[in-house]
């Protein structure tokens, strides 16, 4: 505090003087059983909340050691608060606030401390939200990607790792050598079959160093898959102001989100797990149908509206839904994406599409289209190209996927229709620029050049005349008439 009347910093539950709901358990009574890699807003709005609910319902030593692999800013916000933070949930019926107590401590940009935490015998689960680009996995062929900077560095210095695959491998080796049971590894990123994919990456990395270790991991370590869903925009000054009003404290780590939350988890935890079902988690034998529905409908539509919306001057998703033409394209994408999904017992595709429209339209959530647009080369293969291939094979409409691809291709030019430049914020940004900078502003030339990016657009699409013609048609309209006019024309097809 800076003076006798200053607002106190959130540091203990006893500091809270406001309407925010508090944990019904004493955080200090519970030990740490989870290490989370990739501490950020989504984790604090999703898995940490479900863990908070689990601790309240069933207890157990399941608090979370959160690891920020690169940035120190979040740790600097959370450490003085002893891991406490405010969750602001915004819905059409108002705003709710609660203080989350499931984070026990935070490690930031400290690989040695992270490895020590991973080797703690009390740790039974490692969860991850490192985004698609953070793993260093060869998505096309499985296994590790030796060209990924963190993977390459850790292969050279496996005793002092700093990347995801290197840290997990070194920790599993140390635990094996010390006779400590391996932890379960649970990916919570938007990747198809994320558990299988991460398993292949860790085993591939380990095999490059020690085949016996790779065999041990393959035989003894569980990598369940999971599907996560909760729209979590970046925190703003309003987020912090609402947290202060709800708690009577300064909270520099507050996070906001929608009221909806979904978590579907493959139930395979040899060392035990929290009672996450208390937080709404659903445990199933096979996550694949649920993740396919989410990636194809929610995430695919998100990517389309991000590129088309951003280039049409729509800053937020709710602004996109307020534009009749863009809203019509959202509806079309959801409908056609839903048509290619295999039947899932108990899953109503139309009801899901309607619910997604309502979530996108939520006036209380300020989700930026530019935020969603980042990392396109990591997202489009599973969100757009995979369903496009299904549609192509089934003779179903491909136009929504072609339009989304064309919108992304226009986005890669890095300048708006008004001539304002912007950063692509993509891990392959330099490659993309090299592909497009020397080609004419022509749909066929741009599409051909970007289709040549290695390990990106599947060959089945790149070879398809039907697909290429559809992308060229969409992209030509975008380039010649501008995105706003192209959206209007597309909506009236």
This prediction's pTM: 0.86
The domain tally of the chain equals 2
Helix (H) / strand (E) containing 228: strand 226-229
Helix (H) / strand (E) containing 309: helix 300-311
Question: If you average pLDDT over residues 183-201, what whole number do you get?
Answer: 95
Question: If you average pLDDT over residues 67-83, what whole number do you get?
Answer: 94
Number of residues that this document lists for the chain: 493
Asked whether residue 444 carries a pLDDT value surpassing 90, the answer given is yes
Q: How many CB atoms lie within 10 A of CB 345?
A: 5
Whether 3 is covered by a domain: the verdict is no
Helix (H) / strand (E) containing 44: helix 41-45
* Nearest-angstrom CA–CA distance, 493 and 488: 9
Asked whether residue 300 carries a pLDDT value surpassing 80, the answer given is yes
Do 190 and 164 share a structural domain? yes
Looking at residue 197, its pLDDT comes to: 95
Nearest to 125, CA basis, from 191, 193, 190, 50: 50
Asked whether residue 4 carries a pLDDT value surpassing 80, the answer given is no
Nearest to 194, CA basis, from 295, 282, 113, 275: 295
Question: If you average pLDDT over residues 131-144, what whole number do you get?
Answer: 89
Which residue has tokens 């004493």? 26
Nearest to 246, CA basis, from 10, 6, 2: 10
Identify the CATH number of the domain in which residue 151 sits: 3.40.50.720
Task: Mark out the alpha helices in 157-269 (DSSP H runs).
Answer: 164-177, 194-207, 211-220, 237-247
299 secondary structure, DSSP code: I
Question: If you average pLDDT over residues 42-65, what whole number do you get?
Answer: 98
* Nearest-angstrom CA–CA distance, 78 and 121: 25
Asked whether residue 130 carries a pLDDT value surpassing 80, the answer given is yes
Torsion (CA) 38, 187, 30, 105 in degrees, nearest 10: -10
Asked whether residue 134 carries a pLDDT value surpassing 60, the answer given is yes
Tokens linked to 295: 């990636």
Mean residue pLDDT of the chain comes to 95
Residue 415: which residues within 8 A CB-CB, separation 6 or more? Answer: 421, 422
Whether 128 is covered by a domain: the verdict is yes
Question: If you average pLDDT over residues 152-181, what whole number do you get?
Answer: 97
Asked whether residue 5 carries a pLDDT value surpassing 60, the answer given is no
Q: Which of 222, 256, 284 is the last residue of a domain?
A: 284
User: What are 74-79's contacts with CB under 8 Å, separation 24+?
Assistant: 74/39, 74/40, 74/106, 74/108, 74/253, 75/39, 75/106, 75/107, 75/108, 76/108, 77/252, 77/253, 78/103, 78/106, 78/253, 79/105, 79/106
Looking at residue 346, its pLDDT comes to: 81
Looking at residue 195, its pLDDT comes to: 97
Do 328 and 189 share a structural domain? no
Looking at residue 1, its pLDDT comes to: 41
Q: Which of 237, 269, 284 is the last residue of a domain?
A: 284
Asked whether residue 468 carries a pLDDT value surpassing 50, the answer given is yes
Do 149 and 97 share a structural domain? yes
Looking at residue 225, its pLDDT comes to: 97
Looking at residue 2, its pLDDT comes to: 38
Share of the chain above pLDDT 90, in %: 93
Asked whether residue 320 carries a pLDDT value surpassing 60, the answer given is yes
Do 304 and 217 share a structural domain? no
Which is more confidently placed, 344 or 288? Answer: 288
Nearest to 304, CA basis, from 395, 445, 411: 411
Question: For the chain, how far is it from start to end, CA to CA, in angstroms?
Answer: 61
Q: How many CB atoms lie within 10 A of CB 416?
A: 17
Asked whether residue 139 carries a pLDDT value surpassing 90, the answer given is no
Whether 456 is covered by a domain: the verdict is yes
Range of the domain at 129: 13-284
pLDDT band for position 3 (cuts 50, 70, 90):
very low
Q: Which of 284, 312, 341 is the last residue of a domain?
A: 284
Looking at residue 335, its pLDDT comes to: 97
pLDDT digit string, tens, across residues 323-376 = 999 999 999 999 999 999 998 888 899 999 999 999 999 999 999 999 999 999
* Nearest-angstrom CA–CA distance, 313 and 401: 21
Give the pairing type, strands 85-91 and 94-100.
antiparallel
Residue 316, SS3 per DSSP: strand
Nearest to 263, CA basis, from 285, 295, 290: 290
Whether 5 is covered by a domain: the verdict is no
Do 428 and 323 share a structural domain? yes
């Amino acid at each position: 505090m800076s003076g006798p009347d200053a607002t106190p910093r959130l540091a203990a539950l006893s500091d809270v003087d406001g309407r925010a709901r508090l944990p019904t358990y004493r955080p200090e009574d519970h030990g740490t059983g989870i290490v989370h890699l990739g501490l950020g807003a989504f984790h604090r709005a999703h898995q940490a909340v479900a863990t908070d609910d689990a601790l309240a319902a069933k207890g157990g030593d399941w608090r979370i050691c959160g690891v920020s692999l690169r940035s120190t800013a979040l740790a600097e916000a959370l450490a003085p608060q002893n891991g406490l933070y405010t969750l602001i949930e915004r819905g059409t019926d108002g705003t709710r606030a609660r203080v989350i107590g499931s984070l026990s401590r935070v490690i930031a940009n400290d690989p040695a401390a992270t490895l020590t935490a991973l080797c703690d015998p009390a740790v039974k689960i490692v969860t991850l939200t490192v985004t698609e680009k953070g793993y260093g996995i060869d998505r096309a062929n499985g296994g590790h990607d030796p060209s990924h900077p963190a993977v390459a560095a850790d292969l050279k210095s496996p005793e002092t790792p700093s990347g995801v695959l290197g840290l997990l491998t070194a920790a599993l080796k140390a635990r094996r050598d010390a006779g400590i049971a391996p932890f379960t590894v649970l990916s919570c990123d938007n990747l198809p079959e994320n558990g299988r994919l991460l398993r292949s990456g860790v085993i591939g990395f380990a095999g490059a160093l020690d085949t016996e270790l790779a065999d041990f991991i393959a035989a003894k370590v569980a990598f369940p898959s999971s599907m996560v869903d909760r729209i979590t925009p970046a925190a703003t000054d309003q987020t912090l102001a609402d947290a202060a009003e709800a708690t009577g404290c300064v909270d520099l780590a507050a996070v906001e989100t929608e009221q909806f939350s979904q978590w579907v988890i493959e139930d395979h935890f040899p060392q035990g797990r929290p009672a996450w079902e208390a937080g709404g988690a659903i445990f199933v034998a096979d996550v694949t149908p649920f993740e396919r529905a989410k990636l194809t409908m929610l995430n695919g539509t998100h990517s389309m509206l991000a590129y088309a919306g951003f280039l049409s001057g729509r800053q937020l998703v709710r602004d996109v839904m307020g534009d009749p033409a863009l809203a019509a394209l959202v509806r079309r994408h959801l409908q056609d994406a839903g048509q290619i999904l295999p039947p899932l017992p108990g899953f109503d595709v139309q009801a899901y599409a309607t619910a997604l429209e309502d979530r996108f339209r939520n006036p209380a959530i300020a989700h930026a289209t530019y935020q969603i647009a980042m990392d396109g080369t990591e997202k489009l293969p599973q969100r757009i190209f995979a369903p496009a291939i299904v549609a192509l094979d089934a003779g179903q409409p491909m136009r929504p996927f072609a339009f989304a691809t064309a919108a992304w291709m226009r986005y890669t030019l890095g300048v708006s229709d008004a001539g304002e430049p912007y950063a692509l914020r993509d891990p392959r940004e330099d490659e993309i620029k090299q592909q497009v900078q020397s080609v004419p502003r022509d749909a066929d030339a741009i599409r051909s050049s970007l289709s040549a990016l290695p390990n990106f657009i599947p060959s089945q699409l790149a070879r398809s005349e039907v697909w290429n013609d559809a992308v060229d048609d969409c992209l030509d309209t975008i380039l010649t008439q501008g995105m706003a006019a192209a959206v209007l024309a597309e909506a009236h097809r």
